[in-house]
Structure 1
Amino acid sequence: MSVMNKVENVKEQYKDGSNLSIRTKLHDKYSTNKQGFFPWLFEKYEFPKGCRILELGCGNGAQWEKEIHKLPEDCTLVLSDFSEGMVKAVWEKYSSRTNMLAQKVDIQNIPFPDNCFDVVIANHMLYHVPDLSKALSEVNRVLKSGGKFYSATNGNGGMRPFLRDAFKKVNPKLNSFTENFTFNLQNGKEILSKHFDEVERYDYEDSLAITETQDLVDWLKSTITIAHYTENDLHGFYDYFEEIRQKEGSINIPKETGLFISTKK
């Protein structure tokens, strides 16, 4: 089992929204694609009038902050997460919305009837799931015929090779960022095609140009509970990245992320 999908690690990582907020801030602040990932996602989403939407692993519900009021008439949105802390956070954020529910849900055992939802969303979370095949079977079960499953994820390129190279230079005794995501842009279509009739991949072109080195170090610290290092292991990384920033003007990191849209016929 990967360090990223061990249940105890994931629970600790997402016990509240603090770690996720740090990582979201880095991308919001330094992404070179100024459209923004969330607006791009909402260009891809299709929400029919009166639809029922389930988001699994909703985290702090950030993607809905500027969009929830745009949902079609009579839609119902269920925001769910494995973490009680995240469910509490989204309830506090969106409880004034009459069309929103918040619930603790394990994607491997979704507590809703068959053919219940028109849309299911699971963004940047499938690589945390221990039994992915069971989880996707559950998603398929609760989707209506013709329903869409949206699953954003990262690729094996992008930040990971950049950070892997940094660890080799600064702290070579560590084996960090060498594991591939269990669900990624490279293998996602093959995995999803075992459960859905039609799967399409869309890539979001982006990179990071970081001008404040501490923000990148804070990003690394925020991943400790799902990584092969401790805070003490990060000694020397600020100086390493700061030297790059001073030489190049910014710390330039490629990103590799995108979205799969799967249809149940």
Structure 2
Amino acid sequence: MRKMNRVENVTEQYKNDDNLSKRIKLHSKHSINKQGWYPWLFEHYEFENGYRILELGCGNGNQWQGRIDKLPTSCTLILSDFSEGMVKMVWKKYSCHKNMLSQKIDIQNIPFPDNCYDVVIANHMLYHVSDLSKAISEVHRVLRSDGKFYASTNGNGGMRTYLHNVRKFINPNTTALSDGFSFSLQNGTELLSKYFCDVQSYNFEDSLHITETQDLIDWMKSTITISNYSESDFDKLYDYFENIRIKQGAIDIPKELGLFVSKK
């Protein structure tokens, strides 16, 4: 099992939003696409009056900042996460909204009856799940007929491949990042089509233009519990990337990310 899928590693990684915030910071400050990830996602979401909406793996709930009040009339939003710390955080942030609830939920065992949600959302979290088939089947079970499942993820190229190649250059014996995501842009359609009759995919065109090397190192350090990085790597990595920044003015890194929209 990958470190990214082990329960103990994921639990440590997301016990609070410290690591997540460092990764969000890198993308917020240095992404080329100025539309932004969250506005792009909301262009694809479809909500109607009275919808019951469940987000699984909501993290710190940042995508809902300033948007809960804009949901259509009588919508109910449940923000859930496997981490108790994240659940408490989103409750503290959004409990003033009467149409929002927060709850600790494991996507592999969703504690709701069949056919009770119009929309389920899982952003950048399915590759952390140990039993992916069970998770997707649970999402399918709780969705109503014609309900939609929105699942975003990364590709196995982009930033992942770029950083792996850097590690291989610095240390030819490294195995860091050699395994692809268990749920990726490359295999998502195949995995989702086992449960959903209609699966559409959308790519978010973006890349990183990093002008502060430490932001990248902080991002890499934030993934230690779910990746193969070690503290001994970071001095060499900093020197490598800082040399690029000085010579080229910035560190340019490709990104691969997108969204699957699956209809029951």
TM-score range normalised by the length of the shorter chain: over 0.9
Match of 2:144 in 1: 144
Distance across 2 between alignment mates of 1:232 and 1:103: 38
Runs of at least 4 residues of structure 1 off by over 4 A?
A: none
Aligned: 1:57 with 2:57: yes
Match of 1:257 in 2: 257
Distance across 1 between alignment mates of 2:171 and 2:49: 53
Distance across 1 between alignment mates of 2:98 and 2:6: 35
Q: 1:233, CA displacement in angstroms?
A: 2.6
Aligned: 1:32 with 2:22: no
Distance across 1 between alignment mates of 2:131 and 2:139: 13
The DSSP-based 3-state class of the residue aligned with 2:209 is strand
Match of 2:216 in 1: 216
The DSSP-based 3-state class of the residue aligned with 2:259 is strand
Distance across 1 between alignment mates of 2:17 and 2:112: 26
Alignment of structure 1 residues 88-127 onto 2, 5 Å: 88-127=88-127
Mark the runs of 5 or more structure 1 residues left unpaired by the alignment: none
Question: Deviation digits for residues 84-142 of structure 1, max 9, x if unmatched?
Answer: 00001101110100000000000000000110100000010000000000111100000
Distance across 2 between alignment mates of 1:205 and 1:229: 27
Q: 1:17, CA displacement in angstroms?
A: 0.5
Aligned: 1:186 with 2:193: no
Match of 2:204 in 1: 204
The DSSP-based 3-state class of the residue aligned with 2:120 is strand
- Of residues 226-235 and 104-113 in structure 1, the stretch that sits farther from structure 2 once superposed is 226-235
TM-score (norm 2): 0.99
Q: 1:179, CA displacement in angstroms?
A: 1.0
The DSSP-based 3-state class of the residue aligned with 2:258 is strand
Q: 1:171, CA displacement in angstroms?
A: 2.9
Question: Deviation digits for residues 176-224 of structure 1, max 9, x if unmatched?
Answer: 1111000000000000000111000000000000000000000000000
Question: Deviation digits for residues 148-194 of structure 1, max 9, x if unmatched?
Answer: 00000000111011101110122333211111000000000000000
Distance across 1 between alignment mates of 2:139 and 2:249: 45
Q: 1:16, CA displacement in angstroms?
A: 0.5
Q: 1:235, CA displacement in angstroms?
A: 2.4
User: Contact 2:221/2:229 (CA < 8 Å) preserved in 1?
Assistant: no
Match of 2:14 in 1: 14
Question: Deviation digits for residues 222-258 of structure 1, max 9, x if unmatched?
Answer: 0000011222232211110001111111100000000
Match of 2:155 in 1: 155
Distance across 1 between alignment mates of 2:238 and 2:170: 10
2:89 partner letter = A
Mark the runs of 5 or more structure 2 residues left unpaired by the alignment: none
Match of 1:73 in 2: 73
How big is the alpha-carbon RMSD for the aligned residues of Structure 1 and Structure 2? Answer: 0.8
